[in-house]
Chains A and B, each alone.
Chain A
């Protein structure tokens, strides 16, 4: 992976398409650790309105794996994003 590596104590967030438009960034480093369930709330604080306008239709990957945070039994609801992780905000795709 040739994305810019996060400095110590941080993880990387990649923004694509509408997420990159909204944040005016393609990637940034945020302090780790962060419970996965709190990621969207943190981003909302940084980018007011992003939750409803962008994140509500986005998926999230951590180290190239989609994470499932929806519902009580969600597989990754206890996941903690750690130092060095690569998180990506994945808007609805549009290839072709």
Chain B
């Protein structure tokens, strides 16, 4: 890199809204979307989607993993284009809700620092029967990872960081260098289901 000053992020301040100081959310009777700087609480998600008409609830919790290709990861930090990300998540939730005839759907993403072991994303869906809930939960997660305007800075022990890309075949841009094999070290999912 001929000019390393242009490729370091450490001194570039986030946008005022890229990590909001308070949660930003959008709610209807059946959809809750939220971007928050606070720790995620999965009970909030399951409480929102619970309904007497829903026999199935699926909850996905994505948490920060402690390594990438055997390199210890100290933590992740997420930024977003908050107004656009909210809009995109609304669109994903509405589409998935209608397509799978869900009872309710909840999507919440953490912004800012996300230490190892902490949840970065919660997706909860409820539906009358389990098949729709399983499928819808997975689809909502995959669409979110593909489209939501949220970016992960992976921080390695020792201070180096890499902007990750979820899309196949797209290199993450390493903050101080380039050319690291691409594979996201983001969430390791925990799925809880009940019916």
A95 to B121, Cβ gap below 8 A? yes
Q: Which of B5, B13, B164 contacts A94 (CB 8 A)?
A: B164
A54 to B173, Cβ gap below 8 A? yes
Identify which of residues 1-21 in chain B touch chain A, using a CB-to-CB cut-off of 8 Å: 2-3, 5-9, 11-18
* A90: chain B residues within 8 A (beta carbon): 81, 149
B94 interfacial by beta-carbon distance below 8 Å = no
A53 interfacial by beta-carbon distance below 8 Å = yes
A22 interfacial by beta-carbon distance below 8 Å = yes
Q: What 0/1 readout, one digit per residue, does chain A (17-41) give for beta carbons within 8 Å of chain B?
A: 1101111111100000000000000
- Bound CA–CA A20/B83 (angstroms): 18
B165 interfacial by beta-carbon distance below 8 Å = yes
B135 interfacial by beta-carbon distance below 8 Å = no
Residue in A4, A22, A49, A92 whose Cβ sees the most chain B Cβ within 10 Å: A92
B151 to A94, Cβ gap below 8 A? yes
Identify which of residues 141-180 in chain B touch chain A, using a CB-to-CB cut-off of 8 Å: 141, 144-153, 163-167, 170-173, 175, 178
B15 to A26, Cβ gap below 8 A? yes
Question: Is the interface on chain A under 10, 10 to 19, 20 to 34, or 35 or more residues?
Answer: 20 to 34
B39 interfacial by beta-carbon distance below 8 Å = no
A94 to B81, Cβ gap below 8 A? no
| Least Cβ–Cβ distance between B122 and chain A, in angstroms | 11
- Bound CA–CA A7/B153 (angstroms): 31
Give me the 7 closest cross-chain CB pairs, A-B, nearest first.
Answer: A92-B165, A95-B150, A17-B151, A18-B173, A21-B9, A94-B164, A94-B152
Of all chain A residues, which has the CB nearest B165?
A92
User: A residues touching B (Cβ–Cβ < 8 Å)?
Assistant: 1-4, 14, 16-18, 20-27, 47, 49, 53-54, 57, 61, 64, 88, 90-96
- Bound CA–CA A42/B100 (angstroms): 45
| Least Cβ–Cβ distance between A23 and chain B, in angstroms | 7
* B170: chain A residues within 8 A (beta carbon): 57, 92
| Least Cβ–Cβ distance between A94 and chain B, in angstroms | 4
Of all chain A residues, which has the CB nearest B35?
A95
Of all chain A residues, which has the CB nearest B167?
A92
B32 interfacial by beta-carbon distance below 8 Å = no
Q: Which of B85, B144, B163 contacts A17 (CB 8 A)?
A: B163
* A92: chain B residues within 8 A (beta carbon): 165-167, 170
* B15: chain A residues within 8 A (beta carbon): 3, 14, 16, 26-27
